[in-house]
Amino acid sequence: MENQNNVTEFVFMGLWENKQMELLLFLLFLLCYLAILMGNFITLLTIIHSHLIEQPMYYFLCHLSLMDLCYTSTVVPRLIRDLGAARKNISYNNCMTQLFTAHLLAGVEIFILVSMALDRYVAIVKPLHYMVIMSRRRCNLLIFMAWGVGFWHSVALLLLVLNLPFCGPNQIDHYICDVKPLLKLVCRDIRVVNILVISNAGMVVVAVFLVLVASYILILYNLRTHSSVGRRKALSTCSSHVMVVILFFVPCIYIYVLPAGSENKDKEISVFYTVIAPLLNPLIYTLRNMEMRNAMWKVWSKMAHTKFR
């Protein structure tokens, strides 16, 4: 029997159904988005125009900043627009496009974080072989693999949703087109689909998070043989990575491990990885990193000198 789909557009219910609160949120998210753009652009340009681009850690950080810029730009501008709009509608095709794009970019970001953890593991556990193992060719291969895995993940989710029938309510209890709030609108039993979504998104996120945790435990274990200065430097770098991983993965695990239909705070929790994590990432990697701060000062001083000379 062919799936029936009578829905041509969806309507977002938003974060809070309160006009005064929405006006406040409009200003708040607008400022956050501008800060995300500024912080990640500064990080991106600093690395590209300095010697840091030659180092694998900053090469991955450059790609992470690019993903933060792209990912938030698929979600936050529409959220800001909807907070100021009377009707928060999105066409079916645009909804599917946002679903695919958001999961593609989030998937790439997840595996960039894995690459950054691998880089720190090799730098601390095998320092003598670091430049051989983390060559630019291998770094490029890791980025290529991140895009490949992200594409596979997002295509699988998109095909799953495209085959579902939407023939009733079209109000999405969220501010973005995500797979779980969409499943609540499907007019058929979704128990099997829930299992597939949890397998595709939830279990993958949990598995990657456990791998990252294990890698940082191994790093801490191997730091015992380093000097006190080396330990402090390594711990400073790794603690920045751990903070970013926690900000991104813990909310994702909460959302994608629980089945659709359960009473939880998905849309409120998702703000952590759609807005807060991309906002804090540049601060975490610059304020806690002397090398990054020095490079930033040199690059932007040089740019200012060239402009006003």
Calculate ∠ Cα 108-294-37, nearest 5°.
40
Q: How far apart are CA 23 and CA 245, in angstroms?
A: 31
Q: Each residue's pLDDT tens digit in the chain (309 positions)?
A: 445 567 788 988 877 777 778 888 899 999 999 999 999 999 999 999 888 899 999 999 999 999 999 999 999 999 999 888 878 889 999 999 999 999 999 999 999 999 999 998 898 888 888 989 999 999 999 999 999 999 999 999 999 888 888 877 888 888 999 888 888 888 887 788 888 888 878 888 888 999 888 888 888 888 777 677 767 777 777 777 888 888 889 888 888 887 766 566 788 889 998 999 999 988 888 877 778 888 888 887 777 666 655
Q: Which residue type occupies 66?
A: L
Sheet of 89-91, strand order: 89-91, 9-12, 171-172
Look at residues 201, 173, 197 and name the one whose alpha carbon lies nearest to residue 185.
173
pTM (global) more than 0.75 = yes
* Bridge partners, residue 172, by sequence: 12
Helix (H, G, I), strand (E, B) or coil at 253: helix
